[in-house]
Structure 1
């Protein structure tokens, strides 16, 4: 099994490594399994640090966040409905030659879960699950890698879908053929990641699946609120116009403003 402790040691700031050790030690004391996941791991493989630390807990993430907050002072916000929590910590070190955004480190904690889609484009039914089930519900392989933070196997990589290989080759690849039917908002995310990660491209099969879902009317079945949320995230990207152009090219142009009663974010106009 691959272990990336050397990469963690080389890339992450002393401060972030300290946070990770506290989280791992607290999990060991509580008898729980915790993992680094999502963009945190993806950026590690790209050899850069992310000011957001994404943590998956095989257990009660809200209860665990309270234990972490006792050891890492900061503003803790709990989202009971989703079983998640966010700890905002004052940062003090530089990150890749620059300060953390707003000098803040954000630690997001979520319980591992599994999802089932009763019908295409519907909101999923969510239940507690294992880390393997949690990774299997994610959008793209590059975001479906976990790294253990428990002392016994700290730094060990769980990569069920060859995400590390896709990162190496700059591929944005869906986990399965029904991905964009289950959640059509992943279409926006694919374009957003391609626009942000400039050396990455949507993999050929994944692009075909996107076009297939659009032709099948999956975006027309998606709640307008969810589309607006995705557009808001795109508006925050430096390459927003490029991303929007890519969505038009993929065939999603007709859905970017259809049915949206509010005007598009200024950055997306024109």
Structure 2
């Protein structure tokens, strides 16, 4: 294959050791492609060392795929964990290897050609040429082929048929062909993850193709809930999943999903997504006024809800994000332990059952009984309702996940202010000025809001 240009891209110590062990196919070459190559090219453009965080690499051979796979498995035999997997129908294989206590995944493939019998179904695959293999991909920056030279023990050249390196330099994502989203709608999720992770703008042609695709009422009919759920799981593993969600909302992709009658996205879940989205907006407004509100904690709270109100998933994501065990357990207790909230429900349960008002606690209480919430605040001890203690009265004590300043729309009440405020409320109750919990609530709202 002719063309390409010489390249000075390094694999990094971890992957260098593995690539040096992998032989080329007989009489041919293999290439690193996909996200691994894209991130290496981007690091080179930015003049920095490549990240060592990548746990996966895609390698593609230009010929003799199945014999090459067997050769690769033998070459890596001392490192392989589990059983390698070969998909003969799709001309792909997968093997996990152990490196310094961590599992790395290697995806192998041959040059392929794909055709879609109908939009949304999985493609039919057959052996193909380099032009066919590159054209079947989604974005030019995912069609960057780094040719490995076993003699030099490094990359020899870059094949860039659609200008992916230029897109990276411009911080822009574009499409290889306009029908890409219609062929495989799950590429919309990939676009959202990629654009948000790398903070890329989108080309006019991509946005036009996206707008056309999401208007098609049958867009998701052949995709099915299982594939959509898989894409949602991958989205939730992003460092900032909410940035990707924002793109899916603004592009009407979520509207097309729910309008496309995917049963797994029920009306209730759609409503919760909208409410959670509003909640993040309120947190961002608060963060503009108080820099301390900026941080992973607010994202963790929102993600806990997005993850389907499941404590196990919440804790897994918190662990992956490096949230300390003590704080992680505290968040989980606050969010999911029923006794933490008035009425014997968890906050997750309250949000699930109430329509809410942009995620604000008092708006949520409007659907229930605001008086009961305040009455519980006044009657219950600090140890019984840790959320009130830590967030309403001391928004700065813990990372301000749901601090009073944001969720209530009022300034957070400091610990110094807490006791005299409660004492004054109880005094006014005894004197008859505050006859009902609702009276106390109005007084508290006025007190913490300050003068007009």
Matched-pair contact (CA < 8 Å) for 1:241–1:268? no
1:78 to partner: Cα distance? 1.6
Matched-pair contact (CA < 8 Å) for 2:113–2:129? yes
Return the structure number with greater strand share. Answer: 1
Q: 1:174 aligns to what?
A: 175
Q: 2:264 aligns to what?
A: 261
Q: 2:85 aligns to what?
A: 78
Which has the larger Rg? 2
Residue correspondence of structure 1 range 1-270 to structure 2 within 5 A: 1-4=4-7, 6-8=8-10, 12-23=11-22, 26-27=23-24, 30-47=26-43, 48-49=50-51, 50-72=54-76, 73=78, 74-75=80-81, 76-80=83-87, 81-92=89-100, 103-151=102-150, 154-198=155-199, 200-224=200-224, 225-256=226-257, 258-261=261-264, 267-268=306-307
1:232 to partner: Cα distance? 1.6
Return the structure number with greater helix share. Answer: 2
Per the alignment, in what secondary structure is the counterpart of residue 113 of structure 2?
strand
User: Take 1:175 and 1:84, find their aligned partners in 2: how far apart are those partners?
Assistant: 22
In the superposition, the TM-score normalised over structure 2's length comes to 0.52
CA 1:222/1:247 → structure 2, altered by over 3 Å: closer, same or farther? Answer: farther
Q: 2:370 aligns to what?
A: none
Aligned length: 253
Per the alignment, in what secondary structure is the counterpart of residue 259 of structure 1?
coil
User: Take 1:201 and 1:21, find their aligned partners in 2: how far apart are those partners?
Assistant: 36
1:168 to partner: Cα distance? 1.1
In the superposition, the TM-score normalised over structure 1's length comes to 0.83
User: Take 1:201 and 1:135, find their aligned partners in 2: how far apart are those partners?
Assistant: 22
User: Take 1:238 and 1:256, find their aligned partners in 2: how far apart are those partners?
Assistant: 23
Matched-pair contact (CA < 8 Å) for 2:141–2:173? yes
Aligned-residue RMSD, C-alpha: 2.5
User: Take 2:227 and 2:144, find their aligned partners in 1: how far apart are those partners?
Assistant: 25
Per the alignment, in what secondary structure is the counterpart of residue 6 of structure 2?
coil
User: Take 1:15 and 1:242, find their aligned partners in 2: how far apart are those partners?
Assistant: 30
1:202 to partner: Cα distance? 2.0
Relative contact order higher in (CA < 8 Å, ≥ 6 apart): 1
Which string of whole-angstrom CA distances, capped at 9 and with x for unpartnered residues, describes residues 60-100 of structure 1? 444323212322221352233433222222223xxxxxxxx
CA 1:215/1:148 → structure 2, altered by over 3 Å: closer, same or farther? Answer: same
| Long gaps (5+) in structure 2 | 44-49, 270-303, 309-350, 352-452
CA 1:218/1:174 → structure 2, altered by over 3 Å: closer, same or farther? Answer: farther
| Long gaps (5+) in structure 1 | 93-101
Per the alignment, in what secondary structure is the counterpart of residue 72 of structure 2?
helix
1:204 to partner: Cα distance? 2.1
User: Take 2:189 and 2:171, find their aligned partners in 1: how far apart are those partners?
Assistant: 18
